[in-house]
Chains A and B, each alone.
Chain A
Amino acid sequence: MIPYNPFSLKNKKILVTGASSGIGRAIAIACSMMGGDVILTARNKSRLGETLSLMQATDNKIIIADLKSSSDISRLVEELPDLDGIVHSAGIGSRVLCKNILKTDYDNIFENNFEAPVKLQTELLHKKKINKEASIIFIASKAASFPSVGNALYSASKGAIISYAKCLGLELAPQRIRVNCICPSMVWTNLIIQDGIAKEDLEEAEKKYPLKRYGKPEDIAYLAIYLLSDASKWMTGSDIDITGGAKEL
């Protein structure tokens, strides 16, 4: 008897951006464990190599690319096989008070968190690299709907990608290509430890979460597996909260 596993990613080719660290890395690893063939992309070759070394030896491949560069996007898409899954996980954090926002802050966050995934997605569609019944995931954030001090630009960039994803889902539905967003609250990655936030402060804050901790990258990866697998065939246009029960960030 074939083992029953509706969450298998066997024979699926999956692109994961931002695979060199954090949630992207955990997703790449988990996809390979579930039998998927993963194409990992990010800017940093050595850290991508580290991710690859932690993966199951399915047919995985590294393509170095800076998604802020249009020529890198073209080259990446050119080199890609036809895909059954795409995880847009590359992104950056930011903490700037509204009164201190500079054009450079705005440009930086929107280029990374909105423009880059949208440009990549456009090129993938344009070059017809996405198979019918494929699944597309955007790693958004609960920050889009939970306000927090200093998070205006980041929250806005994630809100923008969620709105984009819903329209994309509608446009791709005729091909039964599904588009969903994952909206995590705080997850332990380098993204949250920056701009003057000390780890000790976060360790104190995570105790306020109903499940008494922030997320681990793997917690998010398991939801990504579900969304990439045929088990979620009837899911599209959703933004799924994964928050440890938190009602604020």
Chain B
Amino acid sequence: MELEDFIKKIAAQFDDTDASEFNEDTDFKGLDEWSSLVALSVIALVKTQYGKTITGKEIRSCKTVKDLYNFIESR
């Protein structure tokens, strides 16, 4: 799992937020577009792309994209 690639994939879960706004320090839950719908989309991404299960609660415990990446890596 590559961080650069992960950032792109996370960015792709958002429809209105431009991909250029995403880097490892992005507080993704602070974005206007963040919602439970996007959270479900991230859960699906992690399951289908990385074969791992995470919960909405676990996503909420991560602040930046890097935090989320590290959390998934640790699984």
Which chain A residues have a beta carbon within 8 Å of chain B's beta carbons? Answer: 95-97, 99-100, 102, 149-150, 195-198, 200-201
Contacts and interface: CB of A to CB of B under 8 A. Distances in A.
Interface string B33-68: 000110011011011100001111110000000000
Nearest to B36: A149
Contact of B44 (A100, A198, A200): A100
Given A96-B44, A97-B44, A100-B48, A196 B36 contact: no
Contact size class for B?
Answer: 10 to 19
Interface of B: 36-37, 40-41, 43-44, 46-48, 53-58
Contacts, number: 37
Given A195-B47, A196-B47, A97 B40 contact: yes
B13 to A, nearest CB: 10
A99 B43 CA distance: 13
Nearest to B42: A196
A100 B43 CA distance: 11
A99 B48 CA distance: 13
Contacts of B37: 97, 149
A244 B44 CA distance: 30
A45 B36 CA distance: 38
A52 to B, nearest CB: 31
